[in-house]
Amino acid sequence: MMSDARTIPVIPESIFDGERGSGCLIANSGEVVARTGGLPDGGGWVEAMTAIRRDADRAARHFGFSAWDAVVIECENGVIGVAPAPVTAQGAGALAVAACPAGSPPGYVRRVLRRLVSLAGTGLNGGGE
Amino acid sequence: MVSMETAIPEREVARLSARADVRLALAAGERDGLVVHAAGRDAGAADAAAALFASVYRRARAAAAAHDYGTPQLLRLQSPDGEVLAAGSGELVFVLVAERGANLGRLRLDLLAAAGASA
Amino acid sequence: MSPRAESWVDEPLRRFVLDTDVQLAIVMHPSGQVLGQHGFTRAVDVMAACALGAAIHASSAELGRVVDGKPFADLYQAGASRQVFLGSCNTRRGRYLLLAIFDDASSIGLVQLFFEQFRATMAEAVEKTPPAVPLFGEDFDRALARSLDALFAQPRAHEEGPNAAR
């Protein structure tokens, strides 16, 4: 489920420290509530991200981890980072997703994710109504 | 008699599990989540680790495809209690469960080498 | 959904489905009587799955006795796009079967892992619920029809019998 792109708050590109990248926050409902960069618009991509969250939740719970902080996936053509985000009063920010160029260091991806998670916690301003 | 097909993953799992900061190393079927080989002081949790983390790796593959990023080469699940690394190799996925504070750079290289050797 | 005598299986079944992402699941008595289900939309499909599952369990158990001296335990079969798992669990109240059907969203590894937990939650649920009304206190057809009615909340003329007598 996607909100009208004109009303989705825009995440500041400064979270990427001048590098290329895209990111978004996905609510528990599956709605993209904030974004930046050229993420796919198809619902299948969001479902893939939320499926990672569900699986990571399940794996941590049943393997005895107290929680999980992030999943980073290094691929041939890019790096995807996923992190659980706090739920705001609007119900937003259940999942933070970052997509970075291939070869991006894991530490950099984690830093971008932390910034996204922080944005989810403090709310977003600008970019839309 | 051990065939070449099974000897290499078994050897790689043994090599990975020999590190002091590795709690568990295993090779599992990516699709079925069943253990092929496992070793390490937490080997008793191998069945659960194989099923759970093979599933996360399958989800990662779908996420990479949805974003047109090609094949996932390495997955890291980070937790306050440790780290899990996974790398696919054909029909298998190698999974490492590492102690908190482990040398992740070294483990990453070792895991990718294991996956490459078994491909 | 109307209350059922066997609603105690709902929570173990719910947790199993949540943990495994299976598409379809049935908890049944080895006779084929359904106690709980997930994912089915038609009673006739549940009936068919229960009948087949019970028959497969009975014949595979007997095969195990013949070749191995004891019944075979759980059964797994992979198809082109879907897979089937049939497992049994023993409780103080007797044996029950779980039939699960899943695709690539799940795996046999996950199903086996959480089936062990399902066995434990079934045993716990039995301990927490009062003794059930015997399943076969009246004729099997009526009891089966009543279970299906309760699951699908569609009253049927089960008092007259669903089919001609065998």
Q: What is the C-alpha radius of gyration for chain C, rounded to an integer number of angstroms? A: 16
Query: Model confidence at A89, in pLDDT bands (50, 70, 90)?
Result: low
A48, B63: Cβ pair inside 8 Å?
A: yes
Instruction: Count how many Cα atoms sit within 13 Å of the Cα of residue A91 in the half-sphere of its side chain.
Output: 6
Complex ipTM value: 0.92
d(CA A67, CA C145): 45
* Contacts with A70 from chain B: Cβ below 8 Å: 76-78
Burial label, A122 (beta-carbon count in 10 A; 0-12, 13-18, 19+): exposed
Residue B103, amino acid = N
pLDDT in tens, A105-125: 988 999 999 999 988 877 654
d(CA A63, CA B81): 11
Query: Model confidence at C160, in pLDDT bands (50, 70, 90)?
Result: very low
d(CA C151, CA B31): 33
pLDDT in tens, B13-72: 999 999 999 999 999 999 999 999 999 999 999 999 999 999 999 999 999 998 889 999
Interface of B with A in 10-69 (CB under 8 A): 45, 48-49, 52-53, 55-56, 59-60, 62-69
Look up residue B108 and give its two tokens. 């990453």
A115: distance to nearest CA of chain B, Å?
A: 17
Per-residue model confidence (pLDDT) at position C18: 95
d(CA C157, CA C154): 10
B63, A80: Cβ pair inside 8 Å?
A: yes
d(CA C139, CA C158): 11
- Strand B22-29 with B35-39, pairing: antiparallel
Look up residue C165 and give its two tokens. 């007598």
Give how far Cα B89 sits from Cα of B29, B48, B113, Å: 10, 20, 10
Interface of A with B in 11-30 (CB under 8 A): none
Instruction: Count how many Cα atoms sit within 13 Å of the Cα of residue C115 in the half-sphere of its side chain.
Output: 29
Give how far Cα A91 sits from Cα of A24, A62, B33, C151, Å: 15, 26, 34, 34
pLDDT in tens, C13-70: 999 999 999 999 999 999 999 999 999 999 999 999 999 999 999 999 999 999 999 9
User: What 3-state DSSP class applies to A9?
Assistant: coil
Instruction: Confirm if B67 and A40 have CB atoms less than 8 A apart.
Output: yes
A55: closest CA among A36, A73, A39?
A73
d(CA A71, CA B5): 30
